[in-house]
Amino acid sequence: MAEQPRRFAIGYALVPKKRHSFIQPSLVERACERGIDLIPIDLDIPLSEQGAFDCIIHKVSGKAWRAQLEDYSAKNPRTPIIDPPEAIERLHNRISMLQFVSELKIPQEKESLGVPNQIVIYDQAALVDVGTVGALRFPLIAKPLVADGSAKSHKMALVYHRDGLLKQKPPVVLQEFVNHGGVIFKVYVVGDYVKCVKRKSLPDVCEEKLEGLEGSVSFSQVSNLTAPEDWEEDKYYETMHLGEAEMPPLSFVTEVGQGLRKAMGLHLFNFDMIRDAKVGNRYLVIDINYFPGYAKMPSYETVLVEFFLDVVHKSSDERPDSASDGQEVAEDVLDRGW
């Protein structure tokens, strides 16, 4: 009787909302076809008591969970953890997350890369200090400093002038709003795979109308912002023609995505990038998110399953039998931080 090919167990630890959006039947079916079983991890039971996993993916925070991962890794050193908690936590701060962009060493001959001018305000008095905020140009995007995926961390505001700052609650990041044609590029990274899609974003703001607008407008996502009447939002998007918006060069996007992956030590993330309307080849990264809503990415099932297979094969002994090849696997695991 022929020996059955080995199946791989991928354990996933996700909060209910994330589990519902990510673990779609289509993903489970695709994984099963390729020899992968997606197994839910019970957060109320010690991880070490839940059997052997060939890989663990997670988006759960907290000291208790981190301790569980450390204990499991100590007992199962060859099991990849996607991704290391300490690397994920660096994305929980909106100032430190964008520092990775500034550190990238990529050619910027045709396209340039950067981040918007921004500062962090830690107390209410600084919000009304002309000297503190004076270096920034209105309008501004006000974002909570902490980006931990909670509903609170998504509450933002577009601030048109100084009066609008009084409504903000420190600690808050104030980021210059850059007109970008109402289009945002969401770049998904899954290991070596990089996919860029375009989405509707905040409409451009006419500087001449700033003083006539109310102090600020709150929103949680750019796609559900209720714009002021002066914006004529519906007409704006009717004439924008999102489908005709030019995509950034694939080679440039891929280089940025892979550069960030290596700099951050992460495998599952996306970043939001805009193109400066005044300087067409200038791109700005405005946000980075860990383990985003991959179900919105085209063919996400195939991409994620191929990533899982790549991870488990590189961490297992089921590769061509040779001492040198085994050494390459071990070195690759160390290089990737698994």
On whether 314 is known to bind a ligand per the annotation, the reply is no
pLDDT band for 155, please (50, 70, 90 cuts).
confident
On whether 194 is known to bind a ligand per the annotation, the reply is no
On whether 177 is known to bind a ligand per the annotation, the reply is yes
On whether 198 is known to bind a ligand per the annotation, the reply is no
Per the prediction, the chain carries an average pLDDT of: 85
Residue 50 C-beta-side C-alpha neighbours within 13 Å = 22
Residue ranges per structural domain of the chain: 8-83+301-316, 90-290
Cβ within 8 Å of residue 68, ≥6 positions away: 46, 47, 48
On whether 176 is known to bind a ligand per the annotation, the reply is yes
pLDDT band for 84, please (50, 70, 90 cuts).
very high
Task: Say how far apart CA 9 and CA 80 lie, in whole Å.
Answer: 12
Task: Output the pLDDT for position 319.
Answer: 40
On whether 183 is known to bind a ligand per the annotation, the reply is yes
On whether 155 is known to bind a ligand per the annotation, the reply is no
Task: Output the pLDDT for position 41.
Answer: 97
On whether 154 is known to bind a ligand per the annotation, the reply is yes
Q: Which CATH class is domain 8-83+301-316?
A: alpha beta
Quick one: average pLDDT of 2-22? Answer: 90
Task: Output the pLDDT for position 239.
Answer: 53
* Most confident listed range (21-35, 105-119, 304-318): 21-35
Quick one: average pLDDT of 53-70? Answer: 95
On whether 120 is known to bind a ligand per the annotation, the reply is no
327: pLDDT strictly greater than 50:
no
61: pLDDT strictly greater than 50:
yes
Task: Output the pLDDT for position 224.
Answer: 46
**pLDDT top residue among 195 and 221:** 195
Is the C-alpha dihedral spanning 146, 150, 152, 154 positive or negative?
positive
Task: Output the pLDDT for position 221.
Answer: 58
Task: Output the pLDDT for position 318.
Answer: 40
On whether 121 is known to bind a ligand per the annotation, the reply is no
On whether 179 is known to bind a ligand per the annotation, the reply is yes
Tell me the per-residue pLDDT of 24-54, one tens digit each, with 9 for 90 and over: 999 999 999 999 999 999 999 999 899 899 9
Quick one: average pLDDT of 194-205? Answer: 92
CATH 3.50.50.60 fits 90-290, yes or no: no
pLDDT > 70 fraction of the chain, expressed in percent and rounded = 84
On whether 215 is known to bind a ligand per the annotation, the reply is no
On whether 143 is known to bind a ligand per the annotation, the reply is yes
Task: Say how far apart CA 161 and CA 140 lie, in whole Å.
Answer: 8
Task: Say how far apart CA 286 and CA 186 lie, in whole Å.
Answer: 10
Task: Output the pLDDT for position 31.
Answer: 98
Task: Look up residue 87 and give its two tokens.
Answer: 């690397």
pLDDT band for 316, please (50, 70, 90 cuts).
confident
Task: Output the pLDDT for position 326.
Answer: 34
Task: Output the pLDDT for position 215.
Answer: 65
DSSP secondary structure of 216-263:
EEEESSGGG----GGG-HHHHHHHH-GGGSPPPPHHHHHHHHHHHHHH
On whether 258 is known to bind a ligand per the annotation, the reply is no
On whether 287 is known to bind a ligand per the annotation, the reply is yes
pLDDT band for 248, please (50, 70, 90 cuts).
very high
- Please state whether beta strands 140-144 and 118-121 pair in parallel, antiparallel, or not at all (unpaired): unpaired
